[in-house]
Amino acid sequence: MNRRHSVESAGMPCRAPLHIDMLPYPVVVGAFLEREVAAFLNSRSMKRVVLLCDRRVEEHAYRYAEALPKGTPVLAFPLGERRKRLRTVEAVLDALAEAGVDRQSTVLGVGGGVAGDLFGFAAASYMRGVPFVNLATSVVAMVDASVGGKTGVDLAAGKNLAGAFCDPIAVFAAIETLDTLPARQLREGLGEVVKHAILEGGVAFTRLEELASLSLRAWPWDAIVAESIRIKSALVLDDRLESGRRELLNLGHTFAHGLEYATDYRLSHGAAVSIGLRAAGLLAIRRKMFSREEHRRLISLLTQLKLPLHDEDFETEGVLEGMAADKKARNGALRFVLPRAIGEVERGIAVPLSTVRAVVERLHTV
Ligand SMILES: NC(=O)c1ccc[n+]([C@@H]2O[C@H](COP(=O)([O-])OP(=O)(O)OC[C@H]3O[C@@H](n4cnc5c(N)ncnc54)[C@H](O)[C@@H]3O)[C@@H](O)[C@H]2O)c1
């Protein structure tokens, strides 16, 4: 079956791409962006390009390579969170050197959030930095990981502990690639979309409540992705290095990173974020910041979206250990981003360990 047809029939429209010009680099959201990618590279006179891709999206990477100068290499790597490590970066750097990539070359990274973080980091270090274009193929990558310039990998001590701030020169959210994203990844990626909707409130949140009963394959993904990117971009714009308002984007993430660490990355990032959002709500209720009514609204949305709210199989102490290693900890004290209401979120809230432990315990059950 013709792929364009299959994507349209899956409810993913082939409308004109949406251009978001809020950041120092262009962000384009739409289906089948081969022409847009080629035109962007041409406009910058970037003739030498190498594609790095997650092996699972090789088919998409080759399709995009076809629109680029003949002979553009495609280098594929098996990825996944457990491979988001320095040893994989080394393998990528070796492959770039072997392919004869030089400082006049541009790296186009194709894949989900792991690919973006890892290839972005490799591009930032290769020959002290070559330009990086991010072509995002998962919901998490499109709405979050590709935008904002955070790159890096996990260490044994915790998630994302080695990395660099390094902006891409362009981001393309290739909506048609969601057609091959497994249903579970498509759904769990909504954890980050809900996070952005809590930060923004208003229509961003009610739209998700309205869409929740529809099949995910029928969602207007280009509009949803573009809105999420706009919400993130507004926070990233004036705070590139995360010293201020950008921290709000970590809503639910201290818990999420602790859960991912404690489950040895069995939980996907999106699933952990969903549970982390519930945990942030529970903690905010204990701090008397957040009403039970608002919390019920949040839980109702996560439930309707069939996102996880608990996990039976983790050690509480493991989560606390992962949280302590989180970059958001300062002088050993855990500080949280917590909601006051849907649409009103506060950062830098220190919470006693005993309260955090009690909330983590609650996450074993619904
Ligand atoms: N840098 C940031 O600001 C930032 C923000 C959010 C998340 N992240 C990171 O992103 C990662 C999570 O991203 P993710 O959920 O995309 O994980 P992922 O990259 O591992 O992708 C999830 C799974 O889907 C597969 N996949 C991706 N796109 C596909 C497609 N179109 N078709 C078929 N299979 C596809 C991947 O191979 C993988 O198996 C985490 O490591 C997280 O820390 C980074």
Ligand 1 centroid from CA 141, angstroms: 6
Q: Label residue 334 by pLDDT band (50, 70, 90).
A: confident
Q: Which of 87-101, 114-128, 324-338, 347-361 has the lowest mean pLDDT?
A: 324-338
Cα–Cα dist 213/103, whole Å: 49
Which pTM does this prediction carry? 0.94
CA angle 116, 188, 57 (to 5 degrees): 40
Ligand 1 centroid from CA 138, angstroms: 6
Q: pLDDT > 70: what percent of the chain? A: 94
Cα–Cα dist 274/285, whole Å: 17
Ligand 1 centroid from CA 137, angstroms: 8
Give 4-51 pLDDT, tens digit per residue: 434 443 445 558 999 999 999 999 999 999 999 999 999 999 999 999
Question: What's residue 239's pLDDT?
Answer: 82
List b or e across 194-228, with b for residues whose CB sees 16 or more CB atoms inside 10 angstroms: bbbbbbbeeebbeebeebbeeebeebbbbebbbbb
Question: Which residues, 6 or more positions from 98, have their beta carbon under 8 angstroms from its beta carbon?
Answer: none
- Which residues are 349's β-sheet partners? 336
Give 288-331 pLDDT, tens digit per residue: 999 999 999 999 999 999 999 999 999 999 999 999 887 666 66
Within 6 A (CB) of ligand 1 lie 54, 56-57, 79-81, 84, 111-115, 117, 137-138, 140-141, 144-145, 148, 150, 160, 177, 180-181, 185, 268-270
Residue nearest ligand 1's atom 27 by CA:
112
Q: How far is CA 108 from CA 24, 74, 105, 192, in A?
A: 18, 9, 10, 24
**Residue indicated by tokens 């949140």:** 205
- Report phi then psi at 171, rounded to 5: -130, 135
Question: What's residue 241's pLDDT?
Answer: 78
Q: How far is CA 31 from CA 5, 13, 137, 139, 187, in A?
A: 12, 7, 11, 13, 19
Ligand 1 centroid from CA 139, angstroms: 8
Q: Label residue 214 by pLDDT band (50, 70, 90).
A: very high
Cα–Cα dist 352/333, whole Å: 8
Question: What's residue 5's pLDDT?
Answer: 36
Question: What's residue 1's pLDDT?
Answer: 33
The answer on pLDDT for 211 being more than 80 is yes
Tokens standing for residue 213: 């009963």
53-80 mean pLDDT: 97
The larger pLDDT score, comparing residue 334 to residue 6, is at 334
Question: What's residue 158's pLDDT?
Answer: 87
Ligand 1 centroid from CA 352, angstroms: 32
Inter-axis angle of helices 292-304 and 202-211, to 10 degrees? 40
Residue nearest ligand 1's atom 41 by CA:
114
Question: What's residue 3's pLDDT?
Answer: 43
CB hemisphere CA count around 86 (13 angstroms) = 8
Cα–Cα dist 345/322, whole Å: 23
